[in-house]
Amino acid sequence: MARRSFVAGNWKMNKTPEETRALVAALRETLAGYTSGDVAVFPAFPCLIPAAEVLRGSNIGVGAQNIYWEKSGAFTGEVSGPMIVGSGCQYVICGHSERRQFFSETDQTVNKRIKAALSFNLKVIACVGESKDERLKNVTRDVVKRQVEGALAGLTAEQMSQLTVAYEPIWAIGTGLTATPAQAQEVHVLIRGLIKEQFGTGISDALRIQYGGSVKPENARELLHQPDIDGALVGGASLVAADFAAIVRAAK
């Protein structure tokens, strides 16, 4: 089944509001007329409104890097669905490995965030992936299975149509290491199989699964042309307009 590619740029804790305006303006110009797949950028929270303003009416979406599961309340430092929607976003990332590693995210809290995002009609990128130690211990399958099943617990088939899964081997994020195309494809097949078991063939065939982990213009084409890799969640390379645009164009 042909799936429309999806390339997303996770800016993490980079770029001021003014730097954001400059970068998204460059992306808007560079990717003008691009219609072969979906593209989105995920700036830090203070930069969402500037990004959305510059990109309004373009072919590039805007998303937040996280979401809290309550609509409002005494939750200092958190950001809710209505705030994200009101900032002009269409997407949100849930369960990134850095959130799990540094901020005590669990499969259960990731699931709550995903459900909150979907309840506000935000499209979700749900991240899964194993650490270097887990890969060396040959438990990648067990880790990814637990994360997929935990993150998607209780979702309906209709909700799944608003979701993308990103496979990000933790050992390849920001390290310069990259899973080989064969390694990445193997885990993408595993994820699609898990979705088939949980939701059926129609959902699994339609699901977009991105690869993330030191994706660069130099390796993008070979990675993104694997049969089950439907795009990329890009970190550092998304901070340079020319590099991110090259990855977007490399997607099948």
Catalytic residues: 96, 168
φ, ψ dihedrals at 128, nearest 5°: -140, 160
Bridge-based pairing state of the strands 91-94 and 5-10 = unpaired
**DSSP secondary structure string, 86-102?**
HTT-SEEEE--HHHHHH
**What single DSSP character describes residue 33?**
T
Instruction: Give the bridge partners for 5, in sequence order.
Output: 37
Instruction: Give the bridge partners for 40, in sequence order.
Output: 8, 61
**What single DSSP character describes residue 221?**
H
Question: Which residues, in sequence order, are CB contacts of 224 under 8 Å at separation 6+?
Answer: 5, 211, 231, 232, 247, 250, 251, 252
Q: Tokens in use for 75? A: 């939750």
